[in-house]
C-alpha cells in the first residue's frame, strides 16, 4: 500500500517536472512570424540575420517562421503561433481587436515611416485615369487581406468612382508579382504599395521606368511589428529597444539593409486609426 502511494507521488512529480521543463523550453524560444510580402526564399534571406541578432541579444532562441502564402500566414496568426510578428496594417488592426496583439514597432523604409497604395499601369497602355479601367483586368497582390495591394487599392478605385463589378478582379501570389504582370502586359493595371517601385530586386528584373502611377492612396503608417498579449512586458520592451537600436551600429545597419528597412521606429496602436478608417470605407469592417 505504502509502495503504491509512493509510486503515485513520484508519477505526479514526474508529470509536473516534464510540464515545467517543457514550459521553460517554450519560453526560451521566440517564434518570429513574417508575412509573405515577398517570395519565401527572399523573406528567409531578409530576416534570418535579424533572428540571429535578436537571439544573441535576448538570450533566447528566435525562430524565424516564413509562410508560403497569405492564408498559411494568417492561420498562424489566428492560432497565435507567433510571439513576435511582422505584418501589414490590416493584419494588425484585425489581430489587435480579435486576438490581443499589441504593436511595438513599425518599419521605416527609404527613410520614411509612411506608405501608400497605388494603382499602376504601363506608360504605353493608353490608360490615363481610373475611369479608363472600366472593363479592364486589375491584378491585386496576395489576397483580400493585403493592405496596400488590395484594401488600399480598392479604396482608391472606389473613391474615384470605379466600383466592384466594373472591372475584372484577379490576384497574384504577392505584390511584386503584380508589378511583373503589369510590366509583361498580363494585366491592364495593378494594385501595389508604391514603395515597391523603389525595390532594387524588382528593378533588376523589370524596367520600372516603363510603368506609371495612375493614382495614389492616403499616407498610412508603415508595416508593423507586434507581440502577442501573453508576452512578458519586459521582454517586449527589450525586443523593441534592441530593434530600434539597430540603426546605431554597422552590424545593425547591415541587418536593416537585408530586411530592406532604414530603421525600426516605435509605434503605438493610435498610429493605426487611419488604417481602421480606410478598412471601414473599403471593406465595411470595423476594428
Average pLDDT per consecutive 10 residues, the chain (287 residues; last block may be shorter): 52 44 57 91 96 96 93 95 97 98 97 96 98 98 92 97 96 94 98 94 96 97 97 97 96 96 98 97 95
Task: Fold for 8-111+221-273, please state it.
Answer: D-Maltodextrin-Binding Protein; domain 2 (3.40.190)
As a whole number of angstroms, the distance between CA 84 and CA 228 comes to: 7
Show me where the domains of the chain are located. 8-111+221-273, 117-217
Do the two domains 8-111+221-273 and 117-217 of this chain adopt the same fold?
A: yes
Whole-number pLDDT of residue 18? 43
Residue 55 CB contacts under 8 Å (≥ 6 apart), including other chains: 61, 62
Q: Which of 89, 117, 91 is nearest to 223 (CA)?
A: 89
pLDDT, tens digit, 9 for 90 and up, residues 48-66 = 999 999 999 999 999 999 9
- For the structural domain made of 117-217, what CATH number should be given? 3.40.190.10
Residue written as grid cell 519560453: 27
Amino acid at each position: 500500500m505504502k509502495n503504491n502511494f509512493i509510486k503515485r507521488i513520484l508519477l505526479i512529480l514526474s508529470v509536473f517536472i516534464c510540464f515545467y521543463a517543457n514550459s521553460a523550453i517554450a519560453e526560451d524560444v521566440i517564434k518570429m512570424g513574417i508575412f509573405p510580402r515577398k517570395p519565401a526564399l527572399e523573406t528567409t534571406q531578409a530576416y534570418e540575420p535579424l533572428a540571429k541578432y535578436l537571439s544573441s541579444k535576448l538570450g533566447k532562441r528566435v525562430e524565424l517562421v516564413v509562410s508560403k502564402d497569405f492564408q498559411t500566414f494568417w492561420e498562424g496568426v489566428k492560432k497565435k503561433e507567433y510571439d513576435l510578428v511582422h505584418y501589414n496594417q490590416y493584419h494588425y488592426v484585425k489581430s489587435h481587436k480579435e486576438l490581443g496583439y499589441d504593436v511595438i514597432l513599425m518599419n521605416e523604409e527609404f527613410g520614411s515611416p509612411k506608405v501608400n497604395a497605388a494603382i499602376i499601369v504601363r506608360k504605353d497602355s493608353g490608360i490615363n485615369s481610373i475611369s479608363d479601367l472600366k472593363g479592364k483586368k486589375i491584378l491585386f497582390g496576395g489576397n483580400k487581406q493585403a493592405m496596400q495591394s488590395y484594401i488600399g487599392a480598392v479604396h482608391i478605385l472606389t473613391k474615384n468612382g470605379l466600383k466592384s463589378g466594373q472591372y475584372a478582379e484577379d490576384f497574384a501570389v504577392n505584390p511584386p508579382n503584380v508589378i511583373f504582370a503589369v510590366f509583361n502586359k498580363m494585366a491592364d493595371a495593378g494594385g501595389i504599395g508604391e514603395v515597391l517601385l523603389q525595390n532594387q530586386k524588382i528593378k533588376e528584373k523589370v524596367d520600372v521606368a516603363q510603368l506609371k502611377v495612375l493614382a495614389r492612396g492616403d499616407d498610412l503608417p508603415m508595416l508593423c511589428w507586434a507581440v502577442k498579449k501573453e508576452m512578458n512586458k519586459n521582454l517586449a520592451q527589450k525586443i523593441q529597444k534592441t530593434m530600434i537600436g539597430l540603426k546605431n551600429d554597422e552590424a545593425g545597419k547591415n541587418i536593416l539593409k537585408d530586411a530592406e528597412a532604414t530603421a525600426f521606429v516605435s509605434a503605438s496602436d493610435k498610429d493605426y486609426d487611419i488604417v481602421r478608417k480606410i478598412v471601414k470605407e473599403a471593406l465595411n469592417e470595423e476594428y
